[in-house]
Amino acid sequence: MKFMLTFSLSADAASREEAIARFQKTGGLPPKGAKLIGRWTRADFSGGYDLIESDDSKALTQYALMWSDVMELSIVPVVEDSELSEVLKRSAK
């Protein structure tokens, strides 16, 4: 299953610096059990988006805990248009 993680960086300079240092050290990769499909950062550097694939809710939680002290996070399941199309076709009357 795919999930969109959205993150917002704090305006607090210390938190922002810690997030940058941690990213440079680790590459910001998720733990085993979660695969990073893509990552996009907002042009104003206020936050961004990670597309993650996983069937392991514990890996998603671990990933969130790795970053939740330096940024606000939200993780939601997402459906690709091709999958949505199949669902819509089945539900059409």
DSSP bridge pairs for 9: 71
Instruction: Encode pLDDT of 31-83 as tens digits.
Output: 999 999 999 999 999 999 999 999 999 999 999 999 999 999 999 999 998 88
pTM of the model: 0.87
What CATH code would you report for 2-91? 3.30.70
Tell me which amino acid residue 66 is: M
Helix H or strand E segment including 72: strand 71-78
CA distance 27 to 42: 17
User: For residue 92, what pLDDT band results from cuts at 50, 70 and 90?
Assistant: confident
Over residues 1-14, mean pLDDT? 93
Instruction: Encode pLDDT of 9-28 as tens digits.
Output: 988 899 999 999 999 999 99
Report the pLDDT value the prediction gives residue 71, as an integer from 0 to 100.
Answer: 95
